Amino acid sequence: MVLSPSPAARERVASAKRDAHRDPLPPEGRERGSCLNPAPCHPPARAAMSGARNPLKPKAHTPMAIDRSTVLKIATLARIRVPEAELDHLAGELQGIVQWVEQLNQVDVTGVEPMTSVRPMRLTMRKDEVSDGGIRDKILANAPEAAGGFFAVPKVVE
């Protein structure tokens, strides 16, 4: 069974997208390339005009250094026990990953639309009809206990 959004739900999503991408600034107030979304979305330019620091735009680029203390902090946050003997090895591996990401950040993606999949996909559409499914008895056959056509559960509120 494939579910698809109702026409009303699709309209709400489309309306929200239109509202989110209204252009509040004149063209001269925009920063080019300040937004990852290809649609006209310009909160960074608004922040720049107000003098506030833009949280979406990174400050001066400095490569991140991974040392033993950083590996320990990451391991603690991930709730992973890392032996002392492996800290230096993991620091080197993580540093390599960070350098690879830095290389990716140097790629010019101007004009490239974001992808959600390697293949273009479209949701299968169906009629928006209200239905109870017609299989209540089959569903209730899996219940530990049923009463009056409903699942019977223990009382949890006294």
Q: Where are the domains of the chain?
A: 7-58, 60-107
Cβ proximity of 73 and 41 under 8 Å: no
Instruction: State how far the Cα of 37 lies from the Cα of 114, in Å rounded to an integer.
Output: 8
Instruction: State how far the Cα of 14 lies from the Cα of 20, in Å rounded to an integer.
Output: 10
Give rounded-to-5 percent helix, strand, coil for the chain. 40, 5, 60
pLDDT higher than threshold 50 for residue 114: yes
Cβ proximity of 38 and 24 under 8 Å: no
Of all residues in the chain, the percent with pLDDT exceeding 90 is: 27
The yes/no answer on whether domain 60-107 falls in CATH 1.10.20 is yes
| CA atoms within a 13 Å half-sphere pointing along the CA-CB vector of 102 | 11
Instruction: State how far the Cα of 74 lies from the Cα of 81, in Å rounded to an integer.
Output: 10
Structure pTM?
Answer: 0.37
Q: 89 pLDDT band (50/70/90 cuts)?
A: very high
